Every structure is written in C-alpha cells, then in structure tokens.
Chain A
C-alpha cells in the first residue's frame, strides 16, 4: 500500500539517498535497517513530505505523495513518529495528544484515549504533566500515542528503541505487535537487529543511501555476511 521507488534526496549539496525502493504491504511490519547516517531518517522524512529536494516516486494507495504537504500526507493516513521525539515541551500530555487528534478514517482502527492509556499506562498517570517533565521513555510513548490519535493506517516509527531503558524497549516491542494486531502497517527504522527481528515481518537494509538487501529475516540469518557488512552487530 505504501511504495517508494528510486527515491533520491539531498540537503543542499549533500546527496543522502541514491535511489531507494521499498514497499510496505497491508498490515505488514517492515524493518528499515542501517547504520547511523545510512539514510533511514531521510527516507522517512521524504515519505512525510519534510524533504523538498527529492526525485523518484512515493505512492500510497495508488496516489503520489511526492508533491504533497506534510499535513496532507498525514491526512491521507500516514502517521510519523520522529526519532528526536519532538513532543511539545510546554504542552501537557493531554494537550500533546490533542494536537495529534484527527477524525476517524475509513478502514483504520480508531484510537480512544482510554485505549491509548491502556497501552501506555505511564501516560495515564502523567496526563497533566508538561511534555518536558517526562522521562525519555515516557516521551517516546507520548510521541507514539500522539501519532495514533490521528488514526493512521501506516505508522513510520523512527528508531523507537534508541536511547531508552531496556525495560521500555520491551514495552516498545509489545506496542508494535499491538499495532499490527490492530491492523496497522508499520515502517520501522532500526539499528538493533534483534529488536527488529522480534517485531518485523521483513527487513530492508540500506547503506550510504542505497538499498542493499530486501527480504525475510531467515535469509538474513542464513547469510550473516550481509549484516556483518552493513550493520553494526
């Protein structure tokens, strides 16, 4: 349903992506693996319309996203959870969620506050706290919850396990499985192969802005040299 074809992108003179193609199918969790600076975040930003200098094609449900503004892409059904979290520091948890709220969408699960608070019990306790008062893990949960308030069909999750406590990483894994169980598709960017394997259906590996591998985790395990070469394991 989400398809990226021959995507190139650059910031000024720095070429970041040199033709990346990948697909995320209906109710599929795809892991986008690669080292720091490989182009994972840029790929996501391109899908979200946050990078202007790009060529290639990005389609979602058959319609092109290449020239759409971020808010139109979000309204089409794509939710974005940025790596730096980017919660609103001076808004309360509830207000942060309010910013993400969008009307229900055909064919996507609807998320109510109660449901989100079940999924993220910490947030329920901290509803009235300001974003900047939350811990790193809580902020990560808030970002995901905020995106789910928009009732998306596809979620772009940028390195959700980065820089948070192991116990919360486990919780993240549960959350991603829950998203799949609810019928969502997920594009997950990761450096951590074990985490990705635990939650994803397929893997894509990019290095220096180029796709190096696409396929199942079994094949990847059968050829350890691939992960040796392109990932930090």
Chain B
C-alpha cells in the first residue's frame, strides 16, 4: 500500500512541474493564438539561470528561493524581448509562420545556452531545508517533492485570482474570446499580448528553475519537455489553465502507475492519452469549440496552371537536373539526391497543409514508416530493392490511413497535435522495440541492388521516383480530387452542403500525402544505407515545416524552392560552429522579411522585372 502511495506522490510532484510549464503555454496560446515552440527554451533558460544564481549566491534557504524567483523574472523579460522584436510583427501571418519563427528562437537560444553554460550537464544544488526524505507509510518521499505538490495548486490558485479578480485578468480572458472586440472597446491589444507572453514565459522559467534540485540542467531540456507540454495543453483544452492542471495530473499519475506494469511506456503514454481524449472530446477536456484555430489568415488565392513560358522554365530545370550527374562531382550528385528527397517530402507535406488545410506537426511519421518498411523488407524478408521500394510507400500509406482516420475528425491546432502524437507513438515504438526495429542502433546495410549501387545510377532512380512523385501530386492538385480538397479547406460546411463527403475526402488526402512521404523515405533509406529512429522524430517533422514555410505555403512551387534552399543552407551551415544560431537567425530573417516565403519573394522579383504581369482585382 505504502508503495502505491509513494508512486502517487511522485506522480503528483511530476504533475506540478508539468503544469507550471504547460499553463504558460496555454495562456500564451489563449491570448495570442501562437503555438510557442520556444516555450521549452524558456523552461531551459529558467533552469540554467536558477543554477547560476543559486550556486553563485550560495545563500541557504533564502538564496535558493530568491534565485528561483529572479530566474523566472529574467525569463519573463526574455519573453518580452522575443515578443516585441519578433512575434509582434507576425501576429497576422499564417499560424505556421509563427510556429517556425518560434522554432528559430529555439535554435538561437540553444546555441546561446551552449555558449554561456557549455555542453556539460550541470548538477544543481538540493533545495536547502528540503533536502531530506520523510517516511510516509514506510516509504521515503523527498521533501522537495512534497513542496512541489503544494506549489502546483498554489500557482493555479494565483493565476485564477489574477484572471478573475483583476481588471487585467478580465481583459485577458475577454481577449481569448474575441480579440478584435477588445480592441474596439479601447484596450491596446499589443500590450495585452506582451503582458500575457511575459507571464507565460515567466511561468515556464519558474518551472525550469524549480526543476534544478530534481534533474541535471542540460541542453536537451527544451525539446524534451515541449512535446509533453503541448500534450498537456491539448488534453486540457487550448487556452484553459484549469484544464492544463487536470491534464498534468492525469498524465503524471497514469504514468507513475503505468510504468509499474510496462516500464517502456512513459515515452508514448502522454500521446496515447491525448489521442484517446481528442477522439472523445475534440476540443480537449476544458476546451471550447472554436478554440482550435490560430490567428485568422488571409483567404487562399486560387491556384493557376503554369503559363506556357513558366512550363518551359520548369522543363528546362528538370532537364538540367537530369543531365547534372554528367557535369558535377559525385559529392554534388549525392547532395542532389538529398535535395530531391527533401523536395518530395516537402511537397507531400504541402499537399496536405496547403491544399488540404490539414496542418501536420508529425509528417515525419510517414517518411519514417516508408524508410523502415523498406529497410525491414530488405533485412528481414530478404526482398530485393524494387519490391522493397514498393512496400515502403504502401506501408506509409497504410499507417497514414490508420492515423488519418482519427486525425481528420479534428481540425486546426488539435489536428496538428494529434499528428504529432501519432508520430511520437511511432517513434516511441521504433525506439523501444529493439528486437524488431533495432531500436537506437537502427537498421544498417540497406543498400541498393548491385546494378543500382553507383551514385550515378542511384541518382536516376531517385530522379524518376522523386520527380515522378512531385509531378503526380501536382497533377492531383489540379484534378477534381484536388479541387475538392481545396474546397473543403476554404469552407468545409459549404463543401458538405454540396454533397461532398468531407471526412472521407480529407482522409484520402491524408493517406496520399503519407504515401508519398513514405516514397521519399524509401529513397532516403537506400541512399544512406541505414535508418535510425530520428527519421520519425520531431526534428524531421519540423524540417519539413520549415521547408514548406521557407518556400511559402500559398504557392504550389513553394516547397520545391523551400526544400532546395533548406538542404543547401543546412549543408553549408552545419559545418560551422554554432550553426543552430545561424540557422535560427536565417529562419527569423526570412519570416520577418519575406512573410510569403522564397517562392513569394521570387514571384515579387519576377513582377518587379516585368516577367510576370500584375494581378488586377
């Protein structure tokens, strides 16, 4: 009995930590409608700052708590800096832009932390006065855990009081319901947003600072916590602080007991809980209908077929690509295969997001399933390359059919989060299931057939598959099926009213996008000769998002530019020290200067030099 109470208390202590970071995220989303990827970075910086302040002061009980609070305040100021310099300029941009911009902040903070605090993990001090364990029903419970169990509800009560008993709180709640109206009633939204962002950032900093007696401070803290924090916010309902608390308790306590039965489950458990909750309650436990959408964006422009001149340019580029192995070095040939893989991946993601209106934070799942299915077909079934290349996309499409069935029942941010959950579940299974997938060691020796083993021959295989895939998806975009997808994106109600089976249509679009992401994964696997769980990870999904965004989501050609630019920049930058910082800065520059992406920028350039005529209303 005592053992189970101890597990429960550990779960509740974890719940408090999780709640502190998630509630700030929820507040920020509720008011500004920004999905803040950098929230994990605020958490990490809070931990580092608290470590530095507490160890420098070395001032006993007072020094510890003073350090924790000061760290939270400084992180709040950091949040203000980010809000005023970056986010304030892009509140009206599509939500994906905001997401990528905050990811740019993640990269910059990561390298800044590396420069300031170094790569070594820092073991924090214990909390003075709370550094022992007390026995409860015979089991030792750390005193600090008990303090955390108290702090979580105290913070919840404090936030509740601020939101219900102060004018500022009432304005914030009003703004989560109708921002424009709050502005029309004389409230300066800009400052309201800044204040909400500062509060959210400070709470994340507090969460990180309070974590130092419990775990080592490391550079991995940011992305390791952000997935769980997202899940908590989504389960609770975007924008609901009380919901975040309930969800944090639910996940942490479930986890504390589930690991007794199935130790490996903690990686995927939050995502499984989220998937179940979202299927039963599509807006989360305490969320409201309509809470799933980010900032309203401009209506989409219709897609046009290429003009004959543009077709000639595109054909010329394709022929140049086809002829390139004869001219360029082997190294460049390999790099071009990477570009083609990335392009097909980005085009399939764009097909889903730009045409289908379904934002995916977990598109890597299908890329990875394709890669793994092909690799396992070669390694375990002993199949030759060509049949394995068939199995990959089919496996990916099957996975997309399975997860897509759940995902298309949701919309907006909730859909995006469920795609992330699906990807994390697949990643977790791949990572854990050592015997079947090789786990962390991956699957090695996935080489092309002998006749295709030269770089040049493989280039042409990749060329046929990738360019063919891109052509096919483009063809579908201009087919009646594509019209249907775009119609649903623009107004699902109207599409339904004219007799379209909206969910089925989206489901098929999801599966098609997944299948082609799988094809990209297959080409990738055989070009590298191995697959690792990374191909299913958040990083790979975000890479895809960045490519689509760099290229511009509104243009069909966008992902092609985006993927090309992305791979070339990555290839160049990743050789440098502090490449994350540079890469993050590039992302921010693009987002702030060319909010319509590289393709939009090229488009404007063409107009400026008169190659394309101005559209008139």
Contact = CB atoms under 8 A, between A and B. Distances in A.
Interface string A10-21: 101101000000
Contact of A50 (B184, B187, B189, B288): B184
Contacts of B181: 82, 86, 88
Interface stretch (B165-173, B250-258, B437-445, B590-598): B165-173
B178 interface: yes
A13 B617 contact: yes
B298 interface: yes
Interface string B182-201: 11111111000000000000
Contact of B177 (A49, A80, A91): A91
A116 to B, nearest CB: 15
B499 interface: no
Given A10-B617, A99-B171, A69 B183 contact: yes
B299 interface: yes
Given A71-B188, A71-B189, A98-B167, A88 B183 contact: no
A146 B187 CA distance: 13
B435 interface: no
B174 interface: yes
A191 interface: no
A170 interface: no
Interface string A47-91: 011100000000000000000011101110000101000101111
Nearest to B181: A86
Interface residues of A, number: 30
Interface residues of B, number: 21
Nearest to B191: A71
A100 interface: yes
A73 B167 CA distance: 21
Interface string B48-71: 000000000000000000000000
A102 interface: yes
A90 B188 contact: no
B614 interface: no
B535 to A, nearest CB: 40
B120 interface: no
A89 B173 CA distance: 10
Contacts of B186: 71, 74-75, 100, 102, 150
Contacts of B288: 90
A95 interface: yes
A150 B617 contact: no
Contacts of B299: 12
A80 B184 contact: yes
Nearest to B290: A89
B577 interface: no
A82 B182 CA distance: 12
A12 B490 CA distance: 15
Contacts of A86: 178, 181
Nearest to A76: B186
A43 interface: no
A70 B184 CA distance: 5
A185 interface: no
A69 B189 CA distance: 10
Contact of A70 (B173, B178, B180, B617): B180
A211 to B, nearest CB: 22
Nearest to A73: B184
Given A12-B617, A90-B288, A150-B185, 11 more contacts: A49-B184, A71-B183, A71-B184, A71-B185, A71-B186, A74-B184, A88-B174, A90-B177, A91-B173, A96-B174, A99-B185
Interface of A: 10, 12-13, 15, 48-50, 69-71, 73-75, 80, 82, 86, 88-91, 95-96, 98-102, 146-147, 150
Interface of B: 167, 170-171, 173-174, 177-178, 180-189, 288, 298-299, 617
30 contacts: A12-B617, A13-B617, A48-B184, A49-B184, A50-B180, A50-B184, A69-B183, A70-B183, A71-B187, A71-B188, A74-B185, A75-B186, A80-B184, A82-B184, A86-B178, A86-B181, A88-B173, A88-B178, A89-B177, A90-B173, A91-B170, A91-B177, A95-B170, A96-B174, A98-B167, A98-B170, A99-B171, A100-B185, A100-B186, A101-B167
